[in-house]
Structure 1
Amino acid sequence: MSGHSFAVRVHYEDTDMAGIVYYANYLRYIERARSDWVRGLGIDQLALKDAGIVFAVRRVEADYLAPAHFEDELQVQSAVESVAPARLVMRQDVQRGEERIFSALVTLVAIGPGGRPVRLPAKLRSLQGVIGG
């Protein structure tokens, strides 16, 4: 998978009683990776928020393939699958070395004042047809 890469180290607080990463923490990892990717595109999310525009997760399709453990070094790989005027779909995989341990298809929307969908920022809309972000 080409696109954006984001490093994550598993902390003790990320694990459950069985010593593996608690399932909901993978969603935190991919959220951090998306925020880092958006920042890297030069999009100021605080300025968007001040303008009344925020990103919201509309849908997540997740597959848990293998467990991660305390002190594992992981990489979140993110790539754009599709872009519409107010919607962005990304594939995000969490890997330990070459092993894919988690995979998600995430649909994001831009929400404006009153909770209504609005157009994505131009930098994101311009990714239309650019697989790999």
Structure 2
Amino acid sequence: MTDPAPPFTWPVRVYIEDTDAGGIVFYANYLKFMERARTEWARARGIAMRAGLGENISFVVHGLEIRYLRPARLDDQLWVSADVTRFGKTYMDFEQQVGLAGSGDVLVQARIKVACTNLLTGRPRAMPESLRAALERAG
């Protein structure tokens, strides 16, 4: 039996625009970091977001559970993971973490459900099999 592949990670540097007046990352900006990691996760599997738009597909956050454990600060180098824990017909469940590079300390943990929707109507739709196969591929 082989070990599962490690989660996909993406590096992020904390800039002044990411912080509040105290120099710590504003809580909502962690969601932006996670969005970038999910986008790069898909890109690593050969999926360009523009291609989905051309096929009338949009991916939207349907649900979110997040825990803030410790703050990140100005100039910190972070890693953001994206790991799919479940594929449904119309959605993917992700577990994501944001951590401090070099220490391995986890700062934020989240579970995020991303739904596949019709771009024009916003209603759920099944992922095309070719897209689903590409997304399920180990990256």
- TM-score scaled by structure 1? 0.90
Q: What code does the residue aligned with 1:51 have? A: E
Match of 1:2 among 2, 6, 19: 6
What does residue 66 of structure 2 align with? Answer: 62
Match of 1:104 among 105, 110, 113: 110
Q: What is the root-mean-square deviation in Å for CA atoms of aligned residues?
A: 1.9
Partner-residue secondary structure (3-state), 1:107: strand
Equivalent residues of 1:9, 1:73 under 8 A apart:
yes
Match of 1:41 among 45, 60, 82: 45
Which stretch shifts more, 71-80 or 116-125?
Answer: 116-125
Is 1:32 matched with 2:69?
no
What does residue 20 of structure 1 align with? Answer: 24
Is 1:52 matched with 2:56?
yes
1:18/1:63 CA distance change after superposition, 3 Å? same
What does residue 125 of structure 1 align with? Answer: 132
Structure 2: give runs of 5+ residues left out of the alignment. Answer: none
Q: What code does the residue aligned with 1:117 have? A: P
Q: d(CA) in 2 for partners of 1:121 and 1:4?
A: 23
Offset at 1:44? 2.1
Offset at 1:24? 0.4
Partner-residue secondary structure (3-state), 1:57: strand
Partner-residue secondary structure (3-state), 1:33: helix
Is 1:116 matched with 2:106?
no
Partner-residue secondary structure (3-state), 1:27: helix
Paired-residue identity, %: 36
Which stretch shifts more, 37-46 or 101-110?
Answer: 37-46
Partner-residue secondary structure (3-state), 2:106: strand
1:46/1:119 CA distance change after superposition, 3 Å? same
Q: How many residues align?
A: 131
Structure 1: give runs of 5+ residues left out of the alignment. Answer: none
Equivalent residues of 1:68, 1:101 under 8 A apart:
yes
